[in-house]
Amino acid sequence: MNEGAPAGRRPPSTAPPVARLIEALHKLPGIGPKSAQRLTYYLLRVPEAEARALAQAIVELKEKIILCSVCQNVTEEDPCGICSDGRRDQSTICVVEEPLDTLAVERTGGYRGLYHVLHGVLSPMEGVGPDDLKLNELVARLRNGSVKEVIMATNPNLEGEATAMYVSRLLVPMGVRVTRLARGLPAGADLEYADDVTLARAIEHRQEV
């Protein structure tokens, strides 16, 4: 009856389409109820073309973005721009948790190797096991022997460390050197929020797992 909006959250005068958008925006990370309301009323005022462009961008995000079959990063082309760039160092793979983490590493400007996105970390508490991560895809990339080093750039927290250990046990027997970002990143922090200099230093001073 009230189109999915919890009863009592909105005044009875709010039109259902307005309430629906407030509700949808409120689900986004970092958007509280007040911000969701402000954004919705802002969108009510913008020219129709602008609002349509935003809606279209969201639709295209879901329609056109796929995972790179090599590194599992989000991309419009397969293989992605980094995997198909012959100037990148093909012997080093930086393993990250999420697509956004590749942007953090790229921002440092100092890394010229390839990436592999796990799409998560091992977390027994949340029921995430090895089969839920893109680990088989990583192992498959190492079979031809051209990769010499895998840098584990998972976040410096419990799950990130456990995942780095697990991957190291998996890959070292394959004759690959597995390294871990140096300490110095704030413990428990997200790679995504690390400043460029700290992250660049952590990559430079990486250590054997």
Instruction: State the minimum distance, in angstroms, from the CB of residue 80 to Zn ion.
Output: 3
Task: Please name every residue paired with 75 in a beta bridge, in sequence order, or none if there are none.
Answer: 66
Q: CB 3 → Zn ion: shortest distance, Å? A: 40
Shortest distance, CB of residue 140 to Zn ion, whole angstroms? Answer: 13
Instruction: Using the minimum distance from each CB to Zn ion, give the nearer residue, 76 or 126.
Output: 76
Q: CA neighbours within 13 Å on the CB side: how many for 139?
A: 15
Instruction: Considering the complex, state which of residue 70 and residue 199 has its C-beta at the smaller distance from Zn ion.
Output: 70
Q: Which of residues 50-89 bind Zn ion (CB under 5 A)?
A: 68, 70-71, 79-80, 83
Tell me if 194 contacts Zn ion by CB under 5 A: no
Closest distance of CB 75 from Zn ion, Å? 6
Q: Build a one-symbol-per-residue string for 18-57: x at contacts with Zn ion by CB under 5 A, - elsewhere.
A: ----------------------------------------
Interacting residues with Zn ion (CB under 5 A): 68, 70-71, 79-80, 83
